[in-house]
Structure 1
Amino acid sequence: MDNRSEAREFLMSRRANLTPEQAGLTVSGQRRVAGLRRSEVAMLADVSIEYYAKIERGNLAGVSDAVLEAVARALQLDDAEREHLFDLARVAGGAAQPVRKRNPKRWVARESLTRALDVITHGPAFVRNGRMDILATNALGRAFYDRVFDGPGQGNLARFCFLDERAKEFYPDWEAASDITVSILRTEAGRDPRDKQLHDLIGELSTRSDAFRTRWGAHNVRRHGSGTKNFQHHVVGELTLSYEGMELTAEPGLSFLIYTAEPGSASQERLDLLASWAATAHQQEDTDPQKTQAAAPKETNL
């Protein structure tokens, strides 16, 4: 991924999204664009027009943290956007160390991590990487995301979202879900620009999905730490779930996510029903080794 092009397009998109009124500027006369001009960003960041123009051309190498902070304030970047800008500057400065530890062997969940997943019985729990590959789940997570594994998704939430038509049933607000999915991938691309598997995934989705390609061009990024989502599961129906995401300190680049329902709610009753359905399905798999092997999360390179 071209770091200079990425930085240029990201900064231009943020500038275009911020109106003079939002930036506290008084304007008069007609303007050709709704967003800020380069000169206005330079003024707000207290740098010369020439220097900001250099930054926006993608020349981030050597730009100080103080100037990056000033640009972030001028463009009113949120925390995720600010981190993305600093990630791009880190890469441009030659400090692009891989975000996650590289292991020549294929990644398999530690037994202790598997046990930690398995003790969570009242909600789907899973581990994913920045490419949105689901690497390990508890039993309820496997049942919750069964269609992610058994179709075009191949265990990847981004593929499922854009390449599997069933995703539009699973995500009642598919537009918002797809925006979030692309923003997570865009954030990961800024953190680890040397991830070939991520490049391949982005290329695949860009080629096969117009919806992905359009969203990728928006250059939006986001954190995905906590919130509430609605789902429509094909077995139990409508679910409203809260989620919490935690970074695994022992596995840099991996996230541990847990979905829960409000106690006593209809969603909790439906999760309990899904757990019962999953247990029945697991018993059937135990009698058919081929099904068990097909249902297991695939090993993957980090």
Structure 2
Amino acid sequence: MTELGDYLKACRARLSTEDVGLPSTGRRRVPGLRREELASLAGISVDYIVRLEQGRVKSASPAILSSLAGALNLQPDEREYLLRLAAENAASGERNRSSASRQQVSPATQVLLASMVNVPAVVLGRRMDILAWNQLGASLFTDFGKLPPKQRNHIWLTFLHPEVRALYKDWAKVAQECVAYLRMDAARYPDDPELAQLVGELSLKDTDFRTWWSDHRVRAQRQGRKTFRHPVAGELSLDFQVLDIRGGTDQAVLLYTAEPGSNSAEALTFLTGWSTAQSSAATTNRAPTKDV
């Protein structure tokens, strides 16, 4: 069995005959479409679908993948994921080699983060690792600098850090989306040992993660809204955006903004002031004393 085969089976299991306009045939032993029904919809032989799901097809043509995506009612992100999984071995090997390189944030990106004093922001790398952050980003979530490097990961914190987990008003929705984001990213580096270690730890320690990961839902992280219950600023409904950093670095800036004039904007302004005061106090406490 392969990731491609597992994904096709999961997509097939999520659909009913009614979803794809086929007549219902009564009670079924297992949920979802049968292989014969998918084959009919996609115009592909049943034997070929069996071989795809069993990992016995080295590469599938774009036309076949497009037919399968249409028959399975895949959305754009899901289609992209399907194509990634079906990529040729040569391309996959090239991506895997680059995944082993060290993740570094450029000085220009660091300056950009520091300049966004009123906007919480973090830089995400592969596996949703948190590579850098600004002062307000740390104030919104947690002091990343005090965490071991292995814990500076967006999805790890969402599931396994009690204080970060408690920040989200609708934790289950946020957590499910994080799993979908991680699986989408995982297709780019299927042999990344650190990704395998992360998934293994989360699967072992959290039942919800294990269930959602096995569901094979995928989604690209672009934009949305999250509601936080912050211990200092109170409730904030913030819009987030993910902006790619050009240059082939596999990095993106995740930033949060509030609707102008809203209660959340006032709360974010308060958090900015509190964060600045905390930073100033810490700097003062670290300042060396002079001999008199």
CA shift in 2, pair 1:100/1:233, >3 Å: farther
2:220 is the counterpart of 1:242: no
Q: Any conservation in 1 of the 2:157–2:165 contact (CA below 8 Å)?
A: no
Structure with the bigger percentage of helix: 2
Q: Specify the alignment match of 1:283 in structure 2.
A: 280
SS across alignment from 2:128: coil
Match of 2:58 among 55, 58, 61: 61
Instruction: State how far apart, in whole Å, the 2-side matches of 1:287 and 1:147 are.
Output: 18
Q: Calculate the aligned-residue CA RMSD, in Å.
A: 2.2
Q: Specify the alignment match of 1:141 in structure 2.
A: 137
2:7 is the counterpart of 1:10: yes
Q: Specify the alignment match of 1:45 in structure 2.
A: 42
- Taking the TM superposition and a 5 Å limit, the aligned residue runs for 1:111-190 are 111-146=107-142, 150=146, 154-190=151-187
Task: Tell me the TM-score normalized by structure 2.
Answer: 0.90
Size of the alignment, in residue pairs?
285
Q: Any conservation in 2 of the 1:151–1:164 contact (CA below 8 Å)?
A: no
Q: Specify the alignment match of 1:26 in structure 2.
A: 23
Unaligned runs of 5+ in 1: 291-302
Q: Any conservation in 2 of the 1:154–1:160 contact (CA below 8 Å)?
A: yes
Instruction: State how far apart, in whole Å, the 1-side matches of 2:104 and 2:27 are.
Output: 59
CA shift in 2, pair 1:26/1:149, >3 Å: farther
Q: Any conservation in 2 of the 1:130–1:184 contact (CA below 8 Å)?
A: no
Following superposition, which runs of at least 4 residues in structure 1 exceed 6 angstroms of deviation? none
Match of 2:211 among 203, 211, 214: 214
Instruction: State how far apart, in whole Å, the 1-side matches of 2:286 and 2:104 are.
Output: 20
Instruction: State how far apart, in whole Å, the 1-side matches of 2:144 and 2:179 are.
Output: 17
Q: Any conservation in 2 of the 1:245–1:256 contact (CA below 8 Å)?
A: yes
Tell me by how many angstroms 1:134 deviates.
1.3
Q: Specify the alignment match of 1:109 in structure 2.
A: 105
Q: Specify the alignment match of 1:259 in structure 2.
A: 256
Match of 2:95 among 94, 98, 119: 98
Unaligned runs of 5+ in 2: 288-292
Q: Any conservation in 2 of the 1:241–1:260 contact (CA below 8 Å)?
A: yes
Q: Which has the higher contact order (CA 8 A, sep 6+)?
A: 1
Matched residues, percent identical?
36
Tell me by how many angstroms 1:262 deviates.
0.4
